[in-house]
């Protein structure tokens, strides 16, 4: 054939292929957007996540690892997955720490003859004080480095960590990250310089009288000393007395202790993929909570959203090509044992995880997702996110994930974290204020819908 004709044919063929491909892509995108619309309508009409959260947080309540409530939560999760028609529902046992707060925790500021009770709570993992408490002079610091520099000036004293979360950070998680070393490592550094206990300003941006607990830890070879959070009001009070040049003593009484590890479980269920069932997208949150409040935002939200996301996909009759698995992790708060056990679990050699999505940043209106993956994978994931615009959750940014899914990164699994609006999270986090009345049913549901939309498209497209 003449060259020109061949070129023309080639051109036509290329044109047809390109046209076909781009129209197929366009068609797929329209279809994802339509399905996202259906998931959204169903979600907002039925508000299933809030119903689930009402059971978990409203009826069972808080559920610290090893507690009877945590065991109830496992049974509840198991039953919920079966009721919702998930496949291969099972428990994956894991040994978890068992710390208990005990019945007594109190403190008072002693300013000369004036004794004023202050709002405190033991930090998770702390040892108790002697029964009669510890009474000692308070020395205020603002960093671990400042504690180190106290040297002998700390001996026999209570070190009071009072660096606030930085209110000028727009992202409150960044403000938290910039202050939380005082809570997690403060006791170790203080013990090294001879302190007898630590008080830590609560990790919150609100000035009120509610203490916020959270994990602290000890290290081998350093003496264990008791550690408690003080409310921000109490922190300001101690600070104001010290600013006046007064010698401030605090009496601290804690009765918390660590008991032997307890057997608990991750709860696992899925929708099997129709074409590539061994390729798995995980969605999850953590079933345990602290023992203050009711674990509504942290992380009843993530648990109820993960269950609801899978329910929405299933009840719309969508049949993902790859498996979408819902995992309710145990023990994120004080050990991450569930996340570690899930990643280490022996499974069929053919099976591998293509992505893991966690919701553990509160049940507020979703704005997007954070993605922890190499550049090529990040771009592929980003291309699966367009339909998230349906619920305003299409800001896809680099970095993110979640505590429970983080051990999967060792096997190269891309990690994805739901990003909700974050201004109110630390008002409630780890405190008596983390109750279901702080959760808006529609905001919670939109997060569930966003997870469903994203998980479904990833399960269809693969990575």
170 forms part of the interface with its own copies (CB under 8 A): yes
By rule CB under 8 A, what count of residues binds its own copies?
23
Among 424, 461, 462, 463, binds its own copies (CB under 8 A): 424
Task: Report how far residue 75's alpha carbon sits from residue 66's, in angstroms, rounded to the nearest whole number.
Answer: 13
- Pick the piece of the chain touching its own copies (CB under 8 A) from 6-14, 48-56, 193-201, 423-431: 423-431
Among 142, 169, 246, 319, binds its own copies (CB under 8 A): 169
Instruction: Calculate ∠ Cα 370-387-458, nearest 5°.
Output: 65
Catalytic residue, from 332, 333, 445, 457: name it: 332
Mask of contacts with its own copies, 44-63, x by CB under 8 A?
xx------------------
Count of C-beta atoms within a 10 Å radius of residue 20: 10
Q: Least Å distance between CB 450 and its own copies?
A: 11
Q: Least Å distance between CB 176 and its own copies?
A: 14
Among 35, 40, 129, 266, binds its own copies (CB under 8 A): 40
**Cβ closest to its own copies, residue 155 vs residue 442:** 442
User: Rounded to whole angstroms, what are the CA distances from 298 to 53, 65, 69, 421, 433?
Assistant: 11, 14, 15, 14, 11
**Cβ closest to its own copies, residue 1 vs residue 170:** 170
Strand-pairing partners, residue 396, are: 369
**Cβ closest to its own copies, residue 65 vs residue 172:** 172
**Cβ closest to its own copies, residue 270 vs residue 445:** 445
Q: Which of 299, 318, 321 is nearest to 405 (CA)?
A: 299
Count of C-beta atoms within a 10 Å radius of residue 84: 18
Q: What one-character-per-residue DSSP string does 338-402 give?
A: HHHHHHH----TT-EEEEEEE--S-SSPEEEEEEES-HHHHHHHHHTTGGGGGGT--EEEES---
- Pick the piece of the chain touching its own copies (CB under 8 A) from 162-170, 232-240, 320-328, 330-338: 162-170
Tell me the angle at which helices 301-315 and 68-83 cross, rounded to the nearest 10 degrees: 10
233 forms part of the interface with its own copies (CB under 8 A): no
Is 332 tagged catalytic?
Answer: yes
Per the omega criterion (within 30 degrees of 0), is the bond before 330 cis? Answer: no
Q: Do the Cβ atoms of 244 and 92 come closer than 8 Å?
A: no
Q: Least Å distance between CB 315 and its own copies?
A: 15
Among 443, 448, 455, 459, binds its own copies (CB under 8 A): 443
Structure tokens at 151: 């040297």
Q: 440-461: string of b/e by CB count within 10 Å (b at 16+)?
A: ebebbbbbbbbbbbbbbbbbbb
**Cβ closest to its own copies, residue 40 vs residue 304:** 40
- Pick the piece of the chain touching its own copies (CB under 8 A) from 6-14, 20-28, 165-173, 451-459: 165-173
- Reported as type and span, the H/E element at residue 32 is helix 3-46
**Cβ closest to its own copies, residue 198 vs residue 205:** 205
Task: Report how far residue 226's alpha carbon sits from residue 295's, in angstroms, rounded to the nearest whole number.
Answer: 24
**How would you classify residue 229: left for phi > 0, otherwise alpha for psi between -120 and 50, otherwise beta?**
beta
Structure tokens at 230: 């003080």
Among 9, 27, 41, 247, binds its own copies (CB under 8 A): 41
**Cβ closest to its own copies, residue 105 vs residue 427:** 427
462 forms part of the interface with its own copies (CB under 8 A): no
**Region 359-418 residues binding its own copies, contact defined as CB under 8 A:** 365, 367, 390-392
Q: Least Å distance between CB 134 and its own copies?
A: 35
- Pick the piece of the chain touching its own copies (CB under 8 A) from 168-176, 284-292, 301-309, 409-417: 168-176
Q: Which of 256, 241, 257 is nearest to 111 (CA)?
A: 241
Residues with a catalytic annotation lie at: 332
Question: What is the binding site for its own copies (CB under 8 A)?
Answer: 40-41, 44-45, 167-170, 172, 205, 365, 367, 390-392, 421, 423-424, 427, 440, 442-443, 446
């Amino acid at each position: 054939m003449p060259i020109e004709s061949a070129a023309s044919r080639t051109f036509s063929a290329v044109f047809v292929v390109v046209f076909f491909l781009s129209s197929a892509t366009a068609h797929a995108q329209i279809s994802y957007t339509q399905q996202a619309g259906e998931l959204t309508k169903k979600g907002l009409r039925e508000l299933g996540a809030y119903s689930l959260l009402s059971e978990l947080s409203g009826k069972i309540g808080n559920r610290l690892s090893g507690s009877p409530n945590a065991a109830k939560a496992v049974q509840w999760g198991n039953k919920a997955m079966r009721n919702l028609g998930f496949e291969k529902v099972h428990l994956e046992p894991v040994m978890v720490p068992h710390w208990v707060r005990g019945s007594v925790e109190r403190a008072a500021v002693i300013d000369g003859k004036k004794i004023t009770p202050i709002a405190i709570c033991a930090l998770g993992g702390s040892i108790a004080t002697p029964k009669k408490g510890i009474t000692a002079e308070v020395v205020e610091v603002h960093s671990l480095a400042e504690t180190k520099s106290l040297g002998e000036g700390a001996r026999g004293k209570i070190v009071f960590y009072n660096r606030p979360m930085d209110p000028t950070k727009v992202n409150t998680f960044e403000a938290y990250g910039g202050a939380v070393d005082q809570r997690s490592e403060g006791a170790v550094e203080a013990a090294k310089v001879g302190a007898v206990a630590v008080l830590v300003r609560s990790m919150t941006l609100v000035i009120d009288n509610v203490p916020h607990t959270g994990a602290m830890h000890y290290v081998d070879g350093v003496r264990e000393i008791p550690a408690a959070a003080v409310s921000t009001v109490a922190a300001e009070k101690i600070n104001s007395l010290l600013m006046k040049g007064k010698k401030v003593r605090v009496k601290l009484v804690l009765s918390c202790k660590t008991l032997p590890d307890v057997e608990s479980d991750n709860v696992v269920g899925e929708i099997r993929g129709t074409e590539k069932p061994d390729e798995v997208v995980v969605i999850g949150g953590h079933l345990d909570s602290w023992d203050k409040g009711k674990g509504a935002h942290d992380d009843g939200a993530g648990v109820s959203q993960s269950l609801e996301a899978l329910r929405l996909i299933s009840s719309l009759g969508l049949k993902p090509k790859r498996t979408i698995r819902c995992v309710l992790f145990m023990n994120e708060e004080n050990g991450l044992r569930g996340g570690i056990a899930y990643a280490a679990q022996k499974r069929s050699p053919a099976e591998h995880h293509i992505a893991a999505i966690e919701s553990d940043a509160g049940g507020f209106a979703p704005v997007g997702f954070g993605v922890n993956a190499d550049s090529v994978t990040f771009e592929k994931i980003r291309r699966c996110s367009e339909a998230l615009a349906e619920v305003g959750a299409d800001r896809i940014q680099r970095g993110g994930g979640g505590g429970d899914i983080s051990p999967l990164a060792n096997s190269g699994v891309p990690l994805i974290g739901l990003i909700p609006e974050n201004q109110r999270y630390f008002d409630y986090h780890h405190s008596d204020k983390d109750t279901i009345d702080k959760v808006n049913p529609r905001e919670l549901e939109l997060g569930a819908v966003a997870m469903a939309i994203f998980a479904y498209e990833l399960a269809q497209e693969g990575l």
